[in-house]
Structure 1
Amino acid sequence: MNRHYYISDDLDELEQVEQELEASGISTEQIHVLSEKDADMDQHRLHSVSPFMKTDVVNSGRRGIYVGLVLAAAVLLVAYFSGWTQTVAGWVPFVFLALVLLGFSAWEGGFFGIQEPNGYFRRFQELLREGKHVFFVDVEPPQEPVLEQVIRHHPHLQVAGTGAAMPHWVMSGQQKLHRFRKMI
């Protein structure tokens, strides 16, 4: 999947683009609007980026897990090569300490990440502060012509580049969850 970014200062136009894309077969879960004007976003039928996804909690949490794995491995290796595991206590306290270090590192990484903007959106921070909105669409290769055709009818949208999209399995899970919510 590919992610296409566009910049606009008109939420009405973005709402129209989203409706046209959905009518052309691109699902709601593939379309997002990133904006700092939450009150204005509430006045439109747009699929906005969740506050959680505006932060870098996932990437920082992942880095915290990596640090935790290194610390946990170090504790287990030191305990083994020092002979401390041959005592009456055995491996239990060292495995517990390794798990605590892993969990703490993941939590701390996530804590740092929740205070930072998402790395994918960092390049748009200045535009967002200026009151503009970032419209992005995740598309499969066969959907590229559909996106191009709809965007062609909206010359006020400024192309802002492409990037990596969310994995297909995540998109599929979101679509199934959305359909399930509609049934309820």
Structure 2
Amino acid sequence: MSRRIYWLVPDLASARQVTNDLLLARVTERQIHFVGREGMDLSGLHVANVLQTSDVVRAAQVGLLIGGITGAAAGVAAAVWFPIVGETPQWGIAAVLAVLGGGFGAWASSMIGISTPSGRLRRFEGAIEQGQILMMVDVPQARAKEIEALLKASHPEARFEGEEPNIPAFP
């Protein structure tokens, strides 16, 4: 189980130094993600990707659920009222339409979600717009307190902003 730790750092030099300290503490670069305001130069830092900065994953999950339910309902109606062969309902059409509806719903919703900023990052928008840099560190639960203590001791300019317990494995 991983935890995501949020920190706000005041500038690029501080962000680079924090990265170096984390690398020395055996936190890999792919576990460290940075978000800055639009157009900010974050060269030398591991910039957060679209999965971490948008609502694409949550939107796809909701679309899969709604599309699957809608497809299943349409499939049941088609199986009962419009049987393909004979008078008995063909329930396979319900399963096929549920899968197709879920796939279409996930795809359509993810197209919307990719352009929507992450709800998890909304609380940091003001600080990011003022020029601060958001750092997200994904660490095993057993190391979370150790990493927090390391950063608090070595970087008083950085501000701890909390942690999130449930981090998906893939983003």
The TM-score normalised by the length of structure 2 is 0.82
- Rounded to whole Å, the distance in 2 between the matches of 1:99 and 1:145 is 45
The residue identity in structure 1 corresponding to 2:154 is H
Query: Aligned with 1:41: secondary structure?
Result: coil
Query: Aligned with 2:8: secondary structure?
Result: strand
- Rounded to whole Å, the distance in 2 between the matches of 1:133 and 1:87 is 65
Q: Structure 1 residue 81: deviation in Å?
A: 3.0
Residue 23 (structure 2) aligns with: 22
In the alignment, structure 2 segments of 5+ residues that lack a partner are none
Indicate conservation of the 8 Å contact 1:17/1:151, yes or no.
no
Between Structure 1 and Structure 2, how many residues are aligned?
168
Alpha carbons of 1:37 and 1:15: their partners in 2 closer, same or farther (altered >3 Å)? farther
Residue 70 (structure 2) aligns with: 71
Structure ranking higher in helix proportion: 1
In the alignment, structure 1 segments of 5+ residues that lack a partner are 172-184
1:124 aligns with 2:124: yes
- Rounded to whole Å, the distance in 1 between the matches of 2:107 and 2:12 is 36
Indicate conservation of the 8 Å contact 1:138/1:165, yes or no.
no
Query: Aligned with 1:155: secondary structure?
Result: coil
Alpha carbons of 1:136 and 1:154: their partners in 2 closer, same or farther (altered >3 Å)? same
Q: Structure 1 residue 100: deviation in Å?
A: 4.0
Q: Structure 1 residue 134: deviation in Å?
A: 0.7
- Rounded to whole Å, the distance in 2 between the matches of 1:98 and 1:145 is 46
Indicate conservation of the 8 Å contact 2:72/2:94, yes or no.
no
